[in-house]
Amino acid sequence: MNQVTMPGANLTNATMLNTKLSDANLEGSNFADANLSEALIRNARFDQANLTRADLRKARVEDIHLPGATLASTKLDLRTAQIDDNTYFTGASMQKVWLTGCSLSKVAFTRADLTEAHLDNTDLIGADFTGAQLGSKEASFTMNKSLASDLNSGSITSGVRTAFQNGGHPLSGSVTLELRIPNENWAITDVNTIYTITNNGSELIVWVYSETHDAAVLAGAYMPNAVFTNANLYAVDMSGVNWYGVYAKANNADLEDVNLANANLGSMDFTQARMYGCTLTQAILIETIFNGAYLRPSVSKKPASLAFSHNTGSIVHPSAFARGSTDECGRCARSRAVFHAAYVLCVRSEQSDDFARFADSISDQQLSISLECYSHRKHSKQQLDDLKRLQPGVSRL
């Protein structure tokens, strides 16, 4: 079947063992439940194709194009595949796909659905996961962004109730609303159901925590310069990953309840990342940027943890640990975290109280800590004296 052109072909349940599909055009074809084991697939196009539950074990895959394809529960072993940046998984549905140990350097997974996918110990250098879905919560419906002001009020208005009713999720009379980030992020608890709402700029997205799908596994992945901008990483196992580099990003990503224990995240950019309940235990956070990130308890009340992490030269702000007010700065577990030469930003003089509370919470926990460089800006002598009182090791600002 070399150089075959069969766009839209129906090959459901087909048996195609040892089939050669070099330079084939199979765009939009249906391979659901097909057996393609030991096939030779080289420079083939499967754009928008349906490969649900297809068996491609032991298939030799070289330069395959899969944008928009559905690979849910596909038995696909790409460990021997020759995959480069000409291989596209953009928008692909890849639930439960096993990619353990594969070499996927510079591959595009933009907007792909990788729920329950296995990417552990995978080479993901420079891979692009912008807008990808890897977490175990799902976008259920959308609301008009004009309702952001209603949500900011902290009350469930009639407009919000109507939107949930229209979305197929009517709210009970005992519902509660939590304002997490004004104009950006809210949590609604309705008895045993929790919804989070995010603002993508054009509409409000209502997320439901999945009871049927687990999050993806990326444990031990090697992913310098990988990009996860706007990605859903809720509860993903990323323990032990190597994720750093000039181009590495997770800005505006959802990292709630993600496991980054023992990860190497030096120089990572977590600007505005939602890291509620994130585990960073024993992580290397050298020069890591947390500008505008949220390291607060998750909807399940699990606190973010930086216990035993190394934060040399990292950039953080006391409010990143607060929930609602800086009086709660101590809620993030930071036991024996090392903030040597960390820049704990306090960019306005009126934030000195925030800064003092943060330093006080550190002092109370008897952390192994050296806060030598609190800010890029100068502070008053009174502020310096206050900080020295709270942390005798403070020597300069």
Rounded mean pLDDT of 146-163?
96
Question: Looking at 17-21, 86-90, 128-132, 178-182, which range is the least confident one?
Answer: 86-90
For residue 384, CA distances in Å to 40, 268, 343, 356 come to: 69, 29, 15, 10
User: Which among 150, 152, 137, 272 is positioned nearest to 208, based on CA atoms?
Assistant: 137
**Does residue 173 carry a pLDDT above 60?**
yes
**Does residue 94 carry a pLDDT above 50?**
yes
pLDDT of residue 311: 74
385 confidence band (pLDDT: 50, 70, 90): low
Q: With a threshold of 0.85, does the pTM exceed it?
A: no
Rounded mean pLDDT of 114-123?
93
Question: Looking at 35-39, 70-74, 96-100, 146-150, which range is the least confident one?
Answer: 70-74
Rounded mean pLDDT of 149-156?
96
**Does residue 316 carry a pLDDT above 70?**
no
**Does residue 257 carry a pLDDT above 90?**
yes
**Does residue 329 carry a pLDDT above 90?**
no
259 vs 359, residue with greater confidence? 259
User: Which among 37, 300, 90, 312 is positioned nearest to 194, based on CA atoms?
Assistant: 300
3 state DSSP class of 318: helix
- State the chain's mean pLDDT as an integer: 79
Q: Quote the domain boundaries for residue 161.
A: 137-209
Question: Looking at 42-51, 126-135, 169-178, 316-325, which range is the least confident one?
Answer: 316-325
Residue 341 located in a structural domain: no
Residue 188 located in a structural domain: yes
> Is 225 in contact with 243 (CB distance < 8 Å)?
no
119 vs 251, residue with greater confidence? 119
Q: What's the total number of domains in the chain?
A: 1
Please report, rounded to a whole number, the percentage of residues in the chain having pLDDT higher than 70: 74
pLDDT of residue 85: 64
Rounded mean pLDDT of 168-173?
95
pLDDT of residue 374: 37
Rounded mean pLDDT of 201-230?
92
For residue 44, CA distances in Å to 16, 84, 93 come to: 15, 14, 18
**Does residue 394 carry a pLDDT above 90?**
no
Residue 263 located in a structural domain: no
359 vs 216, residue with greater confidence? 216
pLDDT of residue 366: 38
52 vs 388, residue with greater confidence? 52
Residue 340 located in a structural domain: no
The residue to which tokens 């090392």 are assigned: 338
Reported as a single tens digit per residue, the pLDDT across 331-380 is 555 555 445 444 444 333 334 455 555 555 544 443 333 333 333 334 44
pLDDT of residue 384: 45
373 vs 161, residue with greater confidence? 161
Rounded mean pLDDT of 17-22?
87
CB atoms within 10 A of CB 29: 24
Residue 201 located in a structural domain: yes
Question: Which long-range contacts does 295-300 make (Cβ < 8 Å, 24+ apart)?
Answer: 295/320, 295/321, 295/332, 296/180, 296/320, 296/321, 296/322, 296/323, 296/331, 296/332, 297/323, 297/331, 298/256, 298/257, 299/187, 299/189, 299/194, 299/196, 299/209, 299/256, 300/257
**Does residue 247 carry a pLDDT above 80?**
yes
pLDDT of residue 18: 86
Residue 152 located in a structural domain: yes
Given its phi and psi angles, is residue 80 left (phi above 0), alpha (psi -120 to 50 degrees) or beta?
alpha
Rounded mean pLDDT of 149-165?
96
Residue 187 located in a structural domain: yes
Question: Looking at 19-23, 46-50, 233-237, 386-390, which range is the least confident one?
Answer: 386-390
Residue 347 located in a structural domain: no
pLDDT of residue 211: 76
